[in-house]
A and B are shown apart, each in its own frame.
Chain A
């Protein structure tokens, strides 16, 4: 596709449920990033992939968060046993290469945990 595609666009989960968020990056983009954006805040880094390798997961807030990109293209961010503080917009971004390359963001998934 022409841009980064994320699904679902909105997700409502009851506390304790597991959720899976999907990201389809721009074709050919090597690098893929996940960011969390709370209301009124800037995006905060969660994790980074180069092809299928997860090179940095230092931003994942807890072991309930898990991300994968098994074939170096589509990525999934999974949150287990969701908590209210997980409510945020989850943004995926891709770039041609990692360092110093413009990031192209998707529209994000707005997660609301009730």
Chain B
């Protein structure tokens, strides 16, 4: 089955700097890769997603890149702000079984220092 690895587990940056979080996946049939932001005690919220037919997607300060050959994808946050502090999870679709199940990474705790 699908396995998703996420790095780093913690990331601390100064306000205004960029942050990059990387994930790798194992199942070459996976074709949907969302990123979720989870603040302490709150629900995971979708911030951006990418499908395997594109290599990059951008939404204001957030971008995601996908390398299907290498089976890795990354989240890029530019001009970080203190409110970006949260745990970020990457996920990859499971190609088999339920046809909708997402496999999540273990998360990256991002701290943005003012």
Mark A residues whose CB is within 8 Å of B: 4, 31, 33, 35, 40-45, 48, 50, 55-56, 58-59, 91, 95, 97-108
Instruction: Please pick, from B31, B97, B98, B106, the residue contacting A42 in the complex, using a CB distance under 8 A.
Output: B106
A43–B44 CB distance below 8 A:
yes
State whether the Cβ of B45 lies closer than 8 Å to any Cβ in chain A. yes
Q: Are B104 and A44 in contact (CB under 8 A)?
A: yes
Interface pair A56/B97, CB less than 8 Å apart: yes
8 tightest CB-CB pairs across the interface, nearest first? A98-B100, A56-B98, A42-B104, A100-B32, A48-B98, A105-B43, A99-B99, A107-B43
List A contacts of B45 (CB < 8 A).
105
What B residues does A50 contact at CB under 8 A? 100
Given contacts A41-B107, A99-B100, list 16 more A-B pairs with CB under 8 A: A33-B100, A33-B101, A41-B106, A42-B89, A42-B105, A42-B106, A45-B94, A45-B101, A48-B101, A55-B98, A58-B98, A59-B101, A98-B98, A100-B51, A102-B34, A105-B43
